């Protein structure tokens, strides 16, 4: 069970990004956005939700944080579908792999404590956790490379070329 959850968090972004030809660089950035939202907005959002919910405050907070982490990723994948091809799609796919790994690294902490414990004991988690710095640096480097390759160039006067 825990391996399936971990694998789905890691593999869903790159697979869906590749199938829909979405912008994987923006998916990586949306995981970063989701992390900021889950850290700084979840407390207020959770208190609003817990007022309308019957579940406990801790459960509401965990689900709110997980939702705030995942929803920007889903929106980005859907809003950028069918936008890339060729070299940009390849760069985006590499960034989406980093996004999936980062999503797993950040998302596991918002699961229930029993599920967290079983995931933390797995060898797959230890391998992924050891790659944390490499995942972040790869995603950041690919994002910078993508922005460099696709930078906007003003159109000059075409007569003087």
Structure tokens at 122: 């797995």
Q: What is the DSSP letter of 86?
A: T
Q: What is the pLDDT of residues 3-23, one digit of tens each?
A: 899 999 999 999 999 999 999
Describe the crossing of helices 24-40 and 132-149 by its angle, rounded to 10 degrees.
130
Domain ranges of the chain: 2-150
Helical residues (DSSP H) of 21-131, grouped into ranges: 24-40, 42-52, 57-79, 87-107, 113-120, 123-130
CA 30 vs CA 38, 46, 98, 115: distances in Å: 12, 21, 12, 25
Q: How many of the other CB atoms lie within 10 Å of CB of 30? A: 26
Give the model's pLDDT for residue 156. 63
Give the model's pLDDT for residue 39. 93
Distance CA 24, CA 93 (A): 6
Mean pLDDT of the 111-120 span = 92
Q: What is the pLDDT of residues 30-83, one digit of tens each?
A: 999 999 999 999 888 877 777 666 667 778 888 899 999 999 999 999 999 887
């Amino acid at each position: 069970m825990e391996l399936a959850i971990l694998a789905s968090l890691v593999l869903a972004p790159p697979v869906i990004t590749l199938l829909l030809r979405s912008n994987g660089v923006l998916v990586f950035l949306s995981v970063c956005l989701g992390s900021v939202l889950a850290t700084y907005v979840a407390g207020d959002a959770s208190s609003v939700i817990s007022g309308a919910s019957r579940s406990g405050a801790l459960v509401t907070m965990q689900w709110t944080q997980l939702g705030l982490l995942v929803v920007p990723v889903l929106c980005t994948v859907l809003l950028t579908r069918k936008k890339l091809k060729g070299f940009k799609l390849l760069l985006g796919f590499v960034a989406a792999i980093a996004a999936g790994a980062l999503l797993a690294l950040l998302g596991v902490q918002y699961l229930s404590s029993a599920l967290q414990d079983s995931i933390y004991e797995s060898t797959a988690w230890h391998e992924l956790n050891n790659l944390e710095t490499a995942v972040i640096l790869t995603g950041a480097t690919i994002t910078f490379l993508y922005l460099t390759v696709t930078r906007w160039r003003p159109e000059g006067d075409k007569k003087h070329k």
